[in-house]
Amino acid sequence: MKICLIAVIYNESYLCSLSKLYESLTKHIDSAVIVNNSNLIKTQTIKNYFPQSCIIQGTNNCFDFSGYQEGLDFSRSHFKEMNWYLFVNDSVMEHRVFTNSRLKSFLRVMLEKPENPSYLGFTDKVETSSEFFIDNLVCSEWVSTYMFAMNPSALTLINWKIYDKEFTEASVWITETSELSFSSRRVSFKLIEHIQDWLFNGKWYRSHEEGIEKTLFLTKTRCILSEKLLSAKANNIGIKVIDPLRADKKLYFIDKFIRLFMKVVRKKFRA
């Protein structure tokens, strides 16, 4: 099995934890592309953590998604076709309890090498998700794109286009009064509400930072829309969405127990 790892990085302090994930996957990875979305991290610093990888400079036009697309395009032009393309951002081990059960479940599905078009990742949804529409497609649940994988047959169905720049830029913009404005024709009201609540009411880790420019919220919103659009397209055109934990009940319950335990431990330490 051949896997191409495409990792997008921003924060130098996250390189160590990301490299540990990389090391645990090394024997399965045939090639790796590291997309540097920061102008502050030196190439040699990245090379120290990922010595066998190709490092390219990202535009950071749409955070993770522009980086994922740039990494995918680079891989296609420099390497042979892989069995899987695995996408991660550098916060994968930082902003959540990422258990070994999650990694095992992910690898188990990839090693099975499903022939059908497949989109692999940990899924999420909210109670009102049945009212979420994007580009006239239902988005009842979606893959969290901090870590996901697609096989070539799935990528072919979406024309190897992870990031739809034209759609996202036409879906949300900043008005003359510096407010976010959405296209109601492209994004449903409930989804707009969900995104605004996540961005501004403390669910995003940068929600309460002072002095954040509106352009950052705009770019983050376009990244969120890209995540939802990718899942909506997959469900609409026959790509099988696989949540690896849901496919393995034993690993699911182990993961759930460890995550709950770690949340309690972290809460006590903060207190």
Per-residue pLDDT tens over the stretch 195-208: 999 898 877 888 88
228-259 b/e (C-beta count within 10 Å ≥ 16 → b) = bbbbbbbbeeebebbbbbeebeebbebbeeeb
- The enclosing domain of 101 has a CATH number of 3.90.550.60
Per the structure, the count of domains in the chain is 1
Closest to 88 (Cα-Cα) out of 138, 19, 27 = 19
Domain assignment of residue 187, yes or no: no
Task: Report if residue 139 sits inside a domain.
Answer: yes
Q: Which domain holds residue 152?
A: 3-166+221-257
**Tens-place pLDDT, residues 6-15:** 999 999 999 9
Q: What was the pLDDT predicted at 113?
A: 78
Q: What are the C-alpha distances in Å from 130 to residues 113, 139, 236? A: 31, 7, 15
- What 3-state DSSP class applies to 114? coil
Long-range contacts of 71-74 (CB under 8 A, 24+ apart): 71/6, 71/7, 71/8, 71/33, 71/34, 71/35, 72/6, 72/155, 72/160, 72/162, 74/33
Report the pLDDT value the prediction gives residue 264, as an integer from 0 to 100.
60
Which residue matches tokens 């849901």? 246
**What per-residue confidence (pLDDT) applies to 203?**
76
What local confidence, expressed as pLDDT, does residue 271 receive?
A: 53
The answer to whether position 196 is within a domain reads no
Distance CA 249, CA 230 (A): 26
Rounded to an integer, what is the distance from CA 69 to the centroid of its chain? 12
* pLDDT the model gives residue 261: 61
270 domain residue, yes or no: no
Residues with pLDDT less than 50, the chain: none
